[in-house]
Amino acid sequence: MAATRFQTQDQWALIPGPAELAEPMDSLHIQDIVEISPAAIARSLLSFPGVELLHAETPSWWDWRARWKSGCDYIEIGMTIFENDSQSWGGSHLTADCSLKDIESLWSHLRARHRGVWLHNSDCTIHTPDSFRQEMST
């Protein structure tokens, strides 16, 4: 049996959310969001083995792009920011064709460095690692 693939065209994103999340939730109901600087997220993403910078944050963080690649598998990562006073990280849209292990490894890498980083899908569900695995197995 072939391994489940994580294939997406901007339907999933890594986003900031609450520091802790016990169950998946609708992103429209977020009350608390951990603030993380886009520079800190960029450094963490670029420290993941195999991630390369495609476009720097100039003229703005909205232009920042990175890509992880291993053989035919890839994850392209964008950057959005909240237009608040601190211009904190607003999320990173993902375009990918990789194994579940690959995306989970990248997510785990970020979560080890920053509290409140979650996977979010186009249905506005913020996933925990367990709920993500469950969703991908259906």
All residues at 6 or more sequence positions from 16 whose CB lies less than 8 Å from its CB, including other chains: 33, 34, 35, 36, 88, 89, 90, 91, 116, 117, 118
Evaluate whether the domain defined by 5-137 bears CATH number 3.40.50: no
Question: Sign of the CA dihedral 40, 118, 87, 76?
Answer: positive
Q: Please write the tens of the pLDDT for every residue from 79-101.
A: 999 987 778 999 999 999 999 99
Sorted by where each begins, the domain ranges of the chain are: 5-137
Residue with tokens 């920053």: 114
The whole-number pLDDT of residue 1 equals 39
Give the helix/strand (H/E) hosting 111: helix 100-113
DSSP label at residue 66: E
Q: Please write the tens of the pLDDT for every residue from 53-83.
A: 999 999 999 999 999 999 999 999 999 999 8
SS3 for 133? Answer: helix
> What pTM was computed for the model?
0.93
* Residue 56 to residues 6, 8, 39, 46, 79, Cα–Cα distance (Å): 26, 23, 11, 11, 10
